């Protein structure tokens, strides 16, 4: 790493001599492993490596960008010149700035040597275990379409002309499964997945059984009458809906007029039960890191606190435009692009009720296990209409599986009508949620009798 640091520092020195006002060098070295098995045989092993440098060059508040995978001195000098030249053809923007130097970064436990040292053979065995547990869950699980193991090892380095120099390395791993259930001509699919910073924390039994359970629980589904009723969102569905809300909390979306939460700062926009957090240094968080894609330290942010909008997410550019400080959310997954604004470990804070307690006082309602068309939800108006399936609730008990229905409304109403939150916070990579109950949602099914 000392050699790469020296190379990047030399590029800064050369770039300033060539006339750039400010420069940033971003280096990424990553390895991604994916193993897939089928019928206890290896179907695919993929090892992808990515290494490269991206350069942002600023001249008179205009930014130029270039990148390369070739770390030879000649290639690096070429893209340095390209980045500087590219700045001549972009518009001036007073908010095009780079962060300054930070005195220190919090040390995080995000590198697991065991992920690196564990053999391919053992990782294959783990994937096979996942498949076995899925098939054994229920005799109606007829096949496992896909089961696998994945991990990543990576290191990031950022150096800029303001004296910022930041480096870290990290790892994560995961297991996944897609199972198919069949009964009396009816077919359903179910998935299971789990990601962790630690290899020892992966539980193949939980992953496989989760997929098996989801593959059979909706077999024999029917529809229900159209009505207004409460719905209960299982953690995976709630986390996915939270992803749409995350977009609305981006400073970039707000500034572009693409957020239904614009101009709502300090106002109540959700039930007082709702607290939404983004925590880039959360212990055990798969997306935890000491700094973001620009070298700004990550932190824990209360975005909504007891229903009140407190903060938006920012990188250096959007923060300057909003006359505030970067929140450490300049996300950057590759050296091939400039930083955007995104979430880290983003979640809805859990409540103190069990999922059963949330369900037990519902006279009639829907426990939602799957939605379709979430990408069609309008982040500007908040309107949505989603195909849905799940399990019908009668007198506080989960009864029959249902599908062929739709739920519709507005994300504002979802947030305001949350009237119970469970204690089962579950993360799906970088987004997490507990079980959530939402009152008075429009459910479209068959015609009322």
Q: What is the pLDDT of residues 307-356, one digit of tens each?
A: 999 999 999 999 999 999 999 999 998 999 999 999 999 999 999 999 99
Which pLDDT score, from 0 to 100, does residue 447 have? 54
Q: What is the dihedral of CA 366, 367, 372, 378, to 10 degrees?
A: 70
- Contact yes or no for 368/407 (Cβ under 8 A): yes
Q: Tens of pLDDT along 70-101?
A: 999 999 999 999 999 999 999 999 999 999 99
Residue 415 has pLDDT above 70, yes or no: yes
Q: Mean pLDDT over all residues of the chain?
A: 96
- Contact yes or no for 28/336 (Cβ under 8 A): no
> Positive or negative CA dihedral for 266, 268, 269, 272?
positive
- What is the C-alpha to C-alpha distance for residues 314 and 141, in angstroms, rounded to an integer? 45
> Residue 80, Cα to own-chain centre: how many angstroms?
32
Band of residue 379 on the pLDDT scale cut at 50, 70, 90: confident
Residue 389 has pLDDT above 90, yes or no: yes
Percent of the chain with pLDDT strictly greater than 70: 99
The mean pLDDT of 37-42, rounded to a whole number, is: 96
Q: Tens of pLDDT along 221-273?
A: 999 999 999 999 999 999 999 999 999 999 999 999 999 999 999 999 999 99
Which pLDDT score, from 0 to 100, does residue 139 have? 97
Which pLDDT score, from 0 to 100, does residue 445 have? 86
In terms of phi and psi (left: phi > 0; alpha: psi -120 to 50; beta: otherwise), the region of 294 is alpha
How would you list the strands of the sheet with 276-279, edge to edge? 308-309, 300-305, 276-279, 346-348, 431-433, 426-428
User: Taking the domains of the chain in order of start, what are their residue ranges?
Assistant: 2-215, 221-449
| Answer CATH for 2-215 from 3.20.20.70, 3.40.50.300, 3.30.2290.10, 3.90.230.10 | 3.30.2290.10
Residue 448 has pLDDT above 60, yes or no: no
Which pLDDT score, from 0 to 100, does residue 1 have? 83
């Amino acid at each position: 790493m000392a050699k790469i640091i020296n190379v990047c520092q030399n590029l800064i020195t050369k770039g300033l001599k060539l006339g750039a006002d400010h420069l940033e060098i971003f280096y990424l070295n990553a390895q991604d492993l994916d193993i897939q098995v089928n019928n206890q045989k290896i179907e695919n092993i993929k090892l992808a490596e990515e290494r490269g440098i991206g350069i942002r060059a600023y001249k008179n508040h205009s930014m130029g960008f270039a990148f390369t995978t070739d770390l030879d001195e000649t290639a690096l000098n070429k893209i340095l010149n390209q980045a500087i030249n590219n700045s001549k053809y972009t518009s001036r923007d007073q908010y095009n700035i780079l962060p300054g130097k930070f005195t220190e970064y919090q040390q995080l436990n995000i590198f697991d040597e065991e992920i690196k040292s564990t053999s391919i053979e053992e990782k294959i065995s783990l994937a096979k275990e996942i498949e076995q547990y899925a098939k054994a869950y229920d005799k109606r699980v007829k096949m496992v379409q896909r089961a696998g193991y994945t991990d990543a090892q990576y290191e990031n380095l950022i150096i800029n002309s303001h004296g910022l120099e930041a480096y870290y390395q990290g790892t994560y791993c995961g297991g996944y499964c897609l199972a198919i259930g069949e009964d009396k001509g009816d077919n359903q699919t179910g998935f299971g997945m789990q990601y962790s910073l630690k290899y020892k924390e992966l539980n193949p039994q939980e992953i496989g059984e989760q997929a098996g359970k989801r593959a059979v629980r909706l077999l024999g589904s029917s529809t229900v009458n159209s009505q207004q009723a409460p719905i209960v969102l299982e953690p995976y569905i709630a986390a996915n809906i939270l992803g749409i809300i995350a977009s609305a909390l981006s400073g970039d979306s707000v500034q572009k007029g693409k957020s239904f939460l614009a101009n709502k700062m300090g106002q109540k926009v959700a039930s007082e039960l709702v607290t939404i957090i983004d925590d880039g240094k959360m212990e055990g968080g798969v997306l935890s890191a000491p700094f973001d894609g620009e070298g700004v330290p990550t932190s824990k942010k209360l975005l909504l606190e007891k229903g009140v909008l407190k903060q938006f997410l920012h990188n250096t550019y959007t923060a300057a435009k909003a006359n505030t400080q970067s929140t450490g959310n300049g996300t950057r997954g590759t050296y091939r692009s400039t930083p955007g604004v995104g979430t880290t470990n983003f979640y809805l804070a859990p409540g103190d009720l069990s999922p059963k307690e949330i369900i037990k006082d519902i006279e009639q309602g829907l426990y939602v296990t799957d939605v379709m068309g979430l990408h069609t939800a309008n982040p500007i108006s908040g309107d949505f209409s989603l195909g849905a399936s799940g399990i019908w609730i009668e007198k506080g008990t989960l009864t029959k599986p249902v599908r062929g229905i739709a739920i519709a409304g507005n994300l504002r109403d979802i947030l305001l009508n949350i009237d119970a939150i469970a204690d089962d916070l579950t993360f799906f990579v970088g987004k997490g949620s507990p079980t959530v109950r939402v009152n008075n949602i429009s459910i479209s099914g068959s015609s009322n009798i």
